Structure 1
Amino acid sequence: MKNITLLFLLLITVFGCKNEKNDNGKLNVVTTTTMITDLVKNIGGDAINVEGLMGSGVDPHLYKASEGDVTKLFNADIIFYNGLHLEGKLVEVFEKMGNQAKTPIALADQLDKKGLIGSDYFASNYDPHVWFNIDYFKQFAEKVTEVLSENNPENKDTFEANKMKYLSELDELQEKVRTVIETLPKEKRILVTAHDAFNYFGKAYDFEVVGLQGLSTATEAGVQDVQKLAAFIIEKQIKAIFVESSVPKRTIEALQAAVKSKGHEVEIGGTLYSDALGNAGTVEGTYVGMFEYNVNTIVNALK
């Protein structure tokens, strides 16, 4: 409560200060997760300024706004975030900003709730990891284009052209992903990871997904969770399990050790990108590259 109070005082102070935003005539857009940052950069291109709050390897479930973040939010013309309480510790900030001139835009609000996966872990009652359904990410692209065009109509044609190009890339990604996954027999499509970030992926591509920590990394896996999942791995003869770039790997290593203690072996099949992209400038630092990398890593390890 103390941290929230201090943050609200900071918000009041910042909103009363002189605007020092990048005033080069372009829209100033602030984003939260790396996936959304990459998306907005693809749609906006050189016509906008984009600043992402979170970097590679950052867990959005646990992310807290810094003083610098509050300044970026204040200076923004538009703010895009995932929503569905993915950025749980930023919710109070966004609610506070909702009383100001600008209202942060939750991209997941555009999705039909009937298609979402339920969850008791989040206040929204839905699993927020929706970017692992490429069709949902396409809807994100449509909304970003709409908002940018409304706020910067002189560049509407540019945004539309960039959107069409990006949607074509996502279509190509879907074809590549399905082709690779079809090489993996359905009985081997069991994905064990640090937390349940891949349920939308599993639903789209017929994988059984099991996360050691559940949907949110804010919850810790206990000894019983580890033992129960170890027994499941042995029963299903699962060849590999996976760590995640934004989650400490000690839980998966503990799971591997628990399997070994029962006289069985399971490999760590690699690191997956779940709640954050890879480093900027790498293939995995883009949404398309991350998705393709994940699929290749999963299929190669489970074959």
Structure 2
Amino acid sequence: MKKIILICLTTIIITSCKNEKQTNGKLNVVTTTSMITDLVKNIGGQHINLQGLMGSGVDPHLYKASEGDVTKLSSADIIFYNGLHLEGKLVEVFEKMKNIKTIAISDAIDKNTLIGSEYFASNYDPHIWFNVDYWIQATTFVTQKLSEAIPEHKDAFQTNGANYIKQLESLKAKLTAKIETLPKEQRILVTAHDAFNYFGKSFGFEVVGLQGISTATEAGVQDVQKLSSFIIEKKVKSIFIESSVPKRTIEALQAAVNSKGHNVTIGGSLYSDALGNSGTIEGTYIGMFEYNVNTIINALK
């Protein structure tokens, strides 16, 4: 099966041509993560045919293209992806697609403002969606790219983009007000991996992940012991699992803390690298962010 997929991908890369791939007169747009799918949906609306590769609970760090993905990619006119090595080996495929336009959302962000990492291949933290201001910039960027690709619907895209930016600005104000109810000394967020650093920087949280920025990096016994000591020292009340990361590492951390006489609870599951189920409030970027903040505040109070 893997050989078949590889052959298909190679065929796409070599033979993709500029034949119109539009369906019902609309451009075919493929997105990677569910956050990007939601973003492009809000801007493109009824004027594009949109397909996302990754659904709820999918870890983009470890994602591998399936046979079904090959079909989606081969029929795409435009592919939007996160970049900064979030999607791993998928990016190598995108960059070789000579006649399919591939666009990295992270290109909208000034690299000088990103959080660096000496442990990650890109040297940048790729979890940019946890900075609402970055997502506003991404909205402007996607609006521009869709307007260039389908100029006849430019007015609709710009209207949709402007409306979505207003929603994001309202979201930021609501989250800020909610977080202000939590004393600053209690704003310590311990999660499965370092997905929330932009969130922490934006809203004044000290963020500590058991694993590194990529879930491909596994936590060892020393990591668990070191973090358990930190939790006890800081009197952290709750720690959090993530929907796209196996919960066993956080459960091991909880057991290590409790064995040392400090009771720490699992405060809930946060959405990190993927949104919730399609059709639910948490299946949207705005709903996901509100859910996460409510879960964090309720558990740490």
- TM-score, normalised via structure 1 length: 0.95
With over 3 angstroms needed to count, the CA separation of the structure-2 counterparts of 1:17 and 1:27, relative to structure 1, is closer
- Output the amino acid matched with 1:46: Q
Q: Is the 8 A contact 1:84 1:122 kept in 2?
A: no
The CA deviation at 1:91 is 2.1
**Corresponding position: 1:111 with 2:115:** no
> Any unmatched runs of 5+ in structure 2?
none
Q: Distance in 1 between matches of 2:207 and 2:160?
A: 34
With over 3 angstroms needed to count, the CA separation of the structure-2 counterparts of 1:20 and 1:26, relative to structure 1, is closer
Q: Distance in 2 between matches of 1:210 and 1:12?
A: 40
Secondary structure, aligned partner of 1:56: coil
- TM-score, normalised via structure 2 length: 0.95
Q: Distance in 2 between matches of 1:132 and 1:206?
A: 13
Secondary structure, aligned partner of 1:55: coil
Q: Distance in 1 between matches of 2:207 and 2:150?
A: 42
Q: Distance in 1 between matches of 2:85 and 2:9?
A: 20
Identify the residue that residue 67 of structure 2 maps to in structure 1.
67
Q: Distance in 2 between matches of 1:17 and 1:211?
A: 41
With over 3 angstroms needed to count, the CA separation of the structure-2 counterparts of 1:265 and 1:20, relative to structure 1, is farther
Identify the residue that residue 286 of structure 1 maps to in structure 2.
284
Identify the residue that residue 162 of structure 1 maps to in structure 2.
160
Question: CA RMSD of the aligned region, Å?
Answer: 1.8
Q: Distance in 2 between matches of 1:268 and 1:22?
A: 48
- Output the amino acid matched with 1:70: V
Superposed CA offset, 1:131-189 (max 9, x none): 00000001111111111111111111110110111001001100100000000111000
Q: Distance in 2 between matches of 1:234 and 1:120?
A: 27
Alignment of structure 1 residues 115-126 onto 2, 5 Å: 115-126=113-124
Report percent identity of matched pairs: 72
The CA deviation at 1:12 is 3.3
> Any unmatched runs of 5+ in structure 1?
none
- Output the amino acid matched with 1:78: I
Secondary structure, aligned partner of 2:193: coil
Q: Distance in 2 between matches of 1:90 and 1:17?
A: 17
Q: Is the 8 A contact 2:16 2:100 kept in 1?
A: no
Identify the residue that residue 173 of structure 1 maps to in structure 2.
171
The CA deviation at 1:9 is 2.6
**Corresponding position: 1:91 with 2:124:** no
Number of corresponding residues: 299
